[in-house]
Structures are given as C-alpha cells and as structure tokens.
Amino acid sequence: MRVEFENITVTLGGRDVVSDASVTADTGQVVGLVGPNGSGKSTLLRTLYRAVTPRQGAVRVNGQDVRSLTGRQTARTVAVMLQDAPTDFDLSVEETVMLGRAPHHPTFGRDTPEDLRVVDEAMAHTEITELADRMVATLSGGQRQRLMLARALAQQTPVLVLDEPSNHLDISHQHELMSTVRGLDGTVIAALHDLNLASQYCDSVVVLAASRVVAAGPPAEVFTPHLIRTTFGVDVRILGDTTEPVFAFRRLEQPG
C-alpha cells in the first residue's frame, strides 16, 4: 500500500514538533526516517497509526485518510513496533504474539488453526520460538524487541511501522531484524538512528532536522558528507561502493 504524509504539522505543548512534512512510501518500499533526537521522526510516525492528530495536513493509505478509518480498520492496515517494549504483560511470549491476531477476530472469537500457524511463523522469523513459554517480564531488552516484531508480523498488515527497531539489539540481531523486514511484501516505514542500517536496508531515506524534512531520496544520493555534517554535527568518511555506502564517523574538530 502507498502511504502519503501530506504537509503534516503537529503541535505539542505549544511548539511545532513536525512542520509541513511531506513523505511518500510507495507500495513494497522500505523507507527510513533519520535525523537527530527531537527532529520529529517518532511524532510523524504516530500520525500514521493515529496516536497523534496533526494540526495541519493528512496521512493517506492508498488514498484514504487514516482519520476516516475505525480502530479495527487501522489495526488491520498498520502494525507498529515501538522502540521500548512494555514489560508489564502478565503473559507468555506466545500469548503476547497472539495479541497480534486480535484485529482479525470477531468479538470474543477463539484462536483458530490459522492464528496458531501465523504466530508460529512470526516467532520463527524472529528467532523466539524457544522462548514461547517464557513470561515477558523475564526477557532481556533484545528479546523483547524481537517479541514486539513478532507480534507486529502476526498482525499481517500491509503497512508496518518501526520506531527504532534496533534498540537494545546486538549487531547480529540488528541485521537479522532489518533483513527480515526487508523481505516482507508490505510497505515499511522505520525511524532509524543508524545511518549504516538505513543505507543497507532502505529503498529511500527521509532526513528530518528541527522538525522539517531537509532531504529525501535513495541513501547513496542523500547521505552526502555535507548533509551528515550539517544535520548530525559529525564528520564522515564514506567507504565501499556508491550504491551501498558505509560510513565511518568522527566528532567535528572544536575550534581552539
């Protein structure tokens, strides 16, 4: 599904935290939102899954304003993996992943063999099958991140939102998670801090700074030394080829 953020402005606490932002994610694309802390990445994502209402603009999925959808329709359209997974579930891992099937059930509906198949597949994808009977409160931060991805995958939506999906994950699992996401059929929009992950796994990136979109396009075109220096305040050396660059960063030299 095509996702369009059209001239989005979000005001919180009397301040515009997103200002006139327009972003498009075409069907099947992985789009990365990158930028310094406080640039508006997470807030922009929240307008897609209706956790925040923009003061101006609209978010459309296949041409339909998300504000016109019911809660159930939204949950069948957009799945969300947040950067900090809750730990207060009095549920097992498998039971938590099964929550992703709720939008597909009638009220008080029972779990079906198809639900069980989807949940098993989601846990296998995220390598948490052996944790199925563990209680969520006993998991490490990285295990909880993989659990939340499994729950989002079990939701089987055409749009997946990831807010800092690599948070708490070691390097190996960061790449495994992004590789899994890359292999999905749907549209993925992810807020990322790691420019190397964005370069390797995203079809396009959108750079936000001071609440505004300052650049958008393929990573190899957007991530120039000048943009990285002015947006993130670090110097960069670009390694590798021009289609999938790798970045080595260092602090800017401070004036004497």
Using CA atoms, how far apart are residues 104 and 133, in angstroms rounded to an integer? 23
pLDDT tens-digit readout, 149-174: 999 999 999 999 999 888 778 898 89
**Percent of the residues in the chain that have a pLDDT greater than 90, as a whole number:** 74
72/254: higher pLDDT: 72
CATH number at residue 116: 3.40.50.300
DSSP notation for 5-70: EEEEEEEETTEEEEEEEEEEE-TT-EEEEE-STTSSHHHHHHHHTTSS--SEEEEEETTEEGGGS-
Given a contact cutoff of 8 angstroms between Cβ atoms, the answer to whether 199 and 245 are in contact is yes
pLDDT of residue 39: 96
Backbone Cα Rg of the chain: 19
| Mean of the per-residue pLDDT values of the chain | 91
Residue 13 lies in a domain: yes
CA 34, 86, 142, 50 dihedral sign is negative
Q: Is 242 a member of any domain?
A: no
Q: Is residue 235 part of a domain?
A: no
**Are the C-beta atoms of 169 and 117 separated by less than 8 Å?**
no
What pTM value is reported for the model?
A: 0.91
Is 87 part of a structural domain of the chain? yes
Q: By the 8 A CB rule, do 73 and 66 touch? A: no
Structural domain contains residue 231: no
Q: What is the pLDDT of residue 187?
A: 97
Going by the DSSP 8-state scheme, the letter that residue 106 receives in this structure is P
Return the closest-CA partner of residue 201 out of 36, 31, 81.
31
Q: How many domains does the chain have?
A: 1
Domain of residue 60 covers 3-221
251 within a domain of the structure (yes/no): no
Q: What order do you get walking across the sheet with 30-34 strand by strand?
A: 78-81, 159-163, 187-191, 30-34, 204-209, 212-217
User: Would 233 be classed as within a structural domain?
Assistant: no
Residue 247 domain-assigned (yes or no)? no
For 117-127, what is the mean pLDDT?
95
Percent share of the chain, pLDDT over 70: 94
Average the pLDDT over 88-103 and give the result.
Answer: 90
The pLDDT value recorded for residue 95 is: 95
